[in-house]
Amino acid sequence: MLSEFDLIRRFFTHSTTHTALGVGDDAALMALTPGMMLAVSTDMLVAGRHFFADADPRLLGRKALAVNLSDLAAMGATPRWATLSLALPQADEAWIAAFAAGFFEMAEHFSVDLVGGDTTGGPLNLSVTIMGEVPAGMALRRSGARAGDDIWVSGKLGDAALALAHLQGRLVLSEQDAARCLPALHDPTPRVALGEALLGYAHSAIDISDGLLADLGHILECSGVAAQIEFAAVPVSATLRSQLSSEAARGCVLAGGDDYELCFTAPAARHEEIAAIGQRLGVPLTRIGAILAGNGLQLLNQSGKEMTIGKTGFDHFA
């Protein structure tokens, strides 16, 4: 039988690149680069709530780290270290091996050292804490948006929510359309390089995990400003665009969540510089609206008329 310590030793003990002491002691030892601040974020993924219990374990390992990396990207931080805590119904070696392989694929791509964590028996639950570095005084925050800023988003929005709606039977996609959307749900790409590149350019940022309207709303609340966005400007895939006559599909774009793209604000005068950052990184960046004085969020249709906003995003307790 595989013991807790066998599990850690066999599947989760890897060499480290920027850690003085990693897995295997009572605590890890790390040293910050001079002039840098520590950025820390934790996310929990619960079977049946955040993912299907029969999810591909390799992709689940990748996503468990990716969603945390997305939080650091929103701060403009460079990822360095992570801890991983697992509650497992059983010590299934094949499942654990596949999960660990996916986790370390993502960790190695972003040069993240796994430095500790915990394992226990119980309902399937994954908890990652990510730590990174950001130059002192330069972190992107939700509270920095200013009237006159442009509002930008990276990538395309809504495919992950569309795929989930398909899997849950709330709408039906063709086999080809489902295949195009499912990677956005199961294997998101955290925009770490973009977050780092936006330091000194963007006034505020957030990652889109709960839905565009909800997450932009956090920026507005923290910054004490208002916003106007144009629905037609929000970037979506061809698959989702073909579904936009459906209220459910429009909800995927605006309130679906699981996008893990960045929403950020920057001075209108820096429009060309922001566009150039996207071109240099190969990341599509789209201006979708503007920050205004006041409070509230106004959503305009293609004719410039205000659209009714229903559900704005995902809430675990709503």
176 lies in the same domain as 81: no
CATH code for the domain of 62: 3.30.1330.10
Q: Residue 174 falls within a domain, yes or no?
A: yes
Average pLDDT over residues 154-177: 93
Predicted confidence (pLDDT) at residue 313 exceeds the cutoff of 60: no
Q: Residue 237 falls within a domain, yes or no?
A: yes
113 lies in the same domain as 20: yes
- The 10s digit of each residue's pLDDT in 84-113 is 999 999 888 899 999 999 999 999 999 999
- The 10s digit of each residue's pLDDT in 189-235 is 999 999 999 999 999 999 999 999 999 999 999 999 999 999 999 99
Q: Residue 308 falls within a domain, yes or no?
A: no
156 lies in the same domain as 103: no
Q: Residue 311 falls within a domain, yes or no?
A: no
Considering the entire predicted model, what is its pTM? Answer: 0.90
Alpha-carbon distance 116 to 122, whole Å? 19
97 lies in the same domain as 30: yes
Amino acid at 4: E
Number of domains in the chain: 2
179 lies in the same domain as 201: yes
User: What average pLDDT does the structure give for the chain?
Assistant: 90
Residue 148 class from Cβ within 10 Å (0-12 exposed, 13-18 middle, 19+ buried)? middle
More confidently predicted of 69 and 25: 69
149 lies in the same domain as 283: yes
188 lies in the same domain as 161: yes
215 lies in the same domain as 112: no
What confidence tier does 308 reach under pLDDT thresholds 50, 70, 90?
Answer: confident
Question: Pick from 100, 135, 170: which residue ends a domain?
Answer: 135
Question: Pick from 135, 154, 171: which residue ends a domain?
Answer: 135
Alpha-carbon distance 85 to 124, whole Å? 11
- Full domain range(s) for residue 211: 142-300
pLDDT at 119: 86
Predicted confidence (pLDDT) at residue 317 exceeds the cutoff of 70: no
Q: Residue 157 falls within a domain, yes or no?
A: yes
130 lies in the same domain as 207: no
Q: Residue 28 falls within a domain, yes or no?
A: yes
Q: What is the bridge-based pairing of β-strands 113-121 and 78-88?
A: parallel
CATH code for the domain of 157: 3.90.650.10
Alpha-carbon distance 25 to 15, whole Å? 14
57 lies in the same domain as 200: no
218 lies in the same domain as 83: no
Predicted confidence (pLDDT) at residue 318 exceeds the cutoff of 60: no
176 lies in the same domain as 248: yes
CA distances from 238 to 101, 147, 177 (A): 32, 32, 9
- The 10s digit of each residue's pLDDT in 107-121 is 999 999 998 888 888
Q: Residue 315 falls within a domain, yes or no?
A: no
